[in-house]
Amino acid sequence: MRKISPARNSRPFDYAQPGDRLHCGKVSIAALARRHGTPLYVYSGDQIVERLGMFENAFRGRNHLVCYAVKANSALAILKLLAGRGAGFDIVSGGELERVLASAPEAVGRVVFSGVGKTAAEIDRALETGILQFNVESEAELELLAARARRMKRRARFALRVNPDVFAETHPYISTGLREHKFGIDIRRAPEIYRRTARSKWLEAHGISLHIGSQIRSAQPFGAAVERVSRLARQLAGEGIALKTIDAGGGLGIDYHSRAFDAAEHVREYAAAIEKALGGFEGRLLLEPGRFLVAQAGALVAGVLHVKSNGKKTFVVVDAAMNDLIRPALYQAHHEIVPVRRRSGRARAVDVVGPVCETGDFFARDRKLAPLEPGDLVALLDAGAYGMAQSSNYNSRPRAAEVLVESGKARLIRRRETMADLLAVEST
Q: What digits encode the pLDDT tens for the residues 292-317?
A: 999 999 999 999 999 999 888 999 99
Cα radius of gyration rounded to whole Å, the chain: 23
pLDDT digits (tens, 9 = 90+) for 378-419: 999 999 999 999 999 999 999 999 999 999 999 999 999 999
The string of pLDDT tens digits covering residues 251-289 is 999 999 876 789 999 999 999 999 999 988 999 999 999
**% of the chain residues with pLDDT over 70:** 93
Percent of residues in the chain assigned helix, strand, coil, to nearest 5:
30, 25, 40
pLDDT tens digit sequence for 88-142? 999 999 999 999 999 999 999 999 999 999 999 999 999 999 999 999 999 999 9
Asked which of 4-18, 26-40, 358-372 is least confident by mean pLDDT, the reply is: 4-18
What value does the mean pLDDT of the chain take?
Answer: 92
Instruction: Give which of 50, 6, 3, 5 is closest to 261, Cα–Cα.
Output: 6
Res 3 pLDDT > 90: no
pLDDT at position 168 is: 55
pLDDT (tens digit per residue) in 154-201:
999 999 999 887 755 544 444 444 444 556 899 999 999 999 999 899
Residue 321: its pLDDT value, please? 98
Asked whether the beta carbons of 310 and 344 are under 8 A apart, the reply is no
Closest by Cα among 366, 404, 370 to 384: 404
pLDDT at res. 67: 98
- Residue 118 contacts residue 142 (beta carbons within 8 Å): no
**What pLDDT sits at residue 176?**
44
Q: What pLDDT is stored for residue 184 in this prediction?
A: 84
Mean pLDDT of 202-214: 95
Whole-number pLDDT of residue 10: 81
Dihedral, CA of residue 288, residue 92, residue 118 and residue 122, to nearest 10? -110
| Collapsed DSSP state (helix, strand, coil) of residue 158 | strand
- Distance (Å, rounded) from C-alpha 290 to C-alpha 277? 22
Question: Which part of the chain has CATH 3.20.20.10?
Answer: 45-290
Is 390 exposed, middle or buried (CB count within 10 Å of its CB: 0-12, 13-18, 19+)?
middle
CATH 2.40.37.10 region(s) of the chain? Answer: 13-43+296-423
**Nearest 5°: CA angle at 255, between 93 and 111?**
25
Q: Following DSSP, what letter does each residue of 56-104 receive, concatenated?
A: HHHTTTS-EEEEEEGGG---HHHHHHHHTTT-EEEESSHHHHHHHHHH-
Fold designation for 45-290: TIM Barrel (3.20.20)
Of 190, 284, 288, 193, whose CA–CA distance to 246 is shortest? 284
Residue 259: predicted pLDDT: 66
User: Which CA distances in Å does 17 have to 20, 21, 258, 300, 421?
Assistant: 5, 8, 20, 21, 40
For domain 13-43+296-423, which CATH number applies: 3.90.1150.10, 2.40.37.10, 3.90.650.10, 2.60.40.3140?
Answer: 2.40.37.10
Largest CA distance in the chain: 73
Q: In terms of Cα–Cα distance, which of 303, 349, 300 is closest to 328?
A: 300
Task: List Cβ neighbours of 341 (8 Å cut-off, separation of 6 or more).
Answer: 21, 22, 30, 376, 377
The residues with which 134 forms a beta bridge, in sequence order, are 113, 158
pLDDT value of residue 37 = 98
Q: Taking a C-beta distance cutoff of 8 angstroms, is the pair 381, 24 a contact?
A: no
Active site residues: 357
pLDDT at 40: 99
pLDDT in the model for residue 2: 34
